[in-house]
Amino acid sequence: MSKKKQKEFLALYEPVHERFERFCRARVYGDMEYTDLINETLLRAYQKFETLKSKEAFLSFLFSISVRVLANTKRKKKEEYHNFNDEAIRVEDVNSNTDKNAEVFMLYKALAQLQEDQRESIILFEISGFSIKEIAAIQDTSESSVKQRLRRGRLKLRELLSPKEVQPREEVKL
């Protein structure tokens, strides 16, 4: 076991842990345990560590691997996919005093309703704080595609998180 390699790897990982943990937690909602994703990503990143050309690229290196791990997992588990109950994600009262975690939980649920690419782009941009250029590199796509995913994803999110308009009852004529 190369202690030096481990030490070097963990030294690079420690400062990005919180950011990476938040990404994993938001990204895997409904798919798998986020701790599994973290661990699996770290193992793969460690195996590929020699291929990392510069330490500055470690963050996007890590995120790219986690994106790939998720894509593989998602494909394999497609048959086991469960649809979320639409009713369950409706936010009836946005001004209620729900605590912060509960609101974020609702956000995760809503994010899980988006298309995979949109969901990932939004999390990377809004929660993990990557630039559009960086996201394009992580997702292996063009910047314009990322912009489009962000725009469509936000629209869809807004739709999902908005309270459903109550239709006025038709008067019943006797």
- Residues at the contact surface with other proteins, assessed by CB under 8 A: 1-2, 6, 10, 13-14, 17-18, 21-22, 25-26, 35, 38-39, 42-44, 46-50, 68, 71-72, 75-76, 78-79, 91, 94, 100-101, 103-104, 106-108, 126-127, 129, 154, 157-158, 161-163
Residue 69 and residue 28 in contact, taking contact as beta carbons nearer than 8 Å: no
CB of 100 to other proteins, least distance (A): 5
Picking from 41, 49, 66, the residue whose alpha carbon sits closest to that of residue 12 is: 49
Residue closer to other proteins by CB (options 52, 143) is 52
CB of 26 to other proteins, least distance (A): 6
Q: Please state, in angstroms and rounded to a whole number, the distance separating the CA atoms of residues 62 and 105.
A: 24
Residue closer to other proteins by CB (options 93, 171) is 93
Q: How many CB atoms lie within 10 A of CB 133?
A: 10
CB of 109 to other proteins, least distance (A): 11
Q: Please state, in angstroms and rounded to a whole number, the distance separating the CA atoms of residues 136 and 154.
A: 17
Is the CA virtual torsion 54, 34, 133, 15 positive or negative? negative
CB of 18 to other proteins, least distance (A): 5
Residue closer to other proteins by CB (options 98, 148) is 98
Kindly state the greatest CA–CA separation across the chain: 84
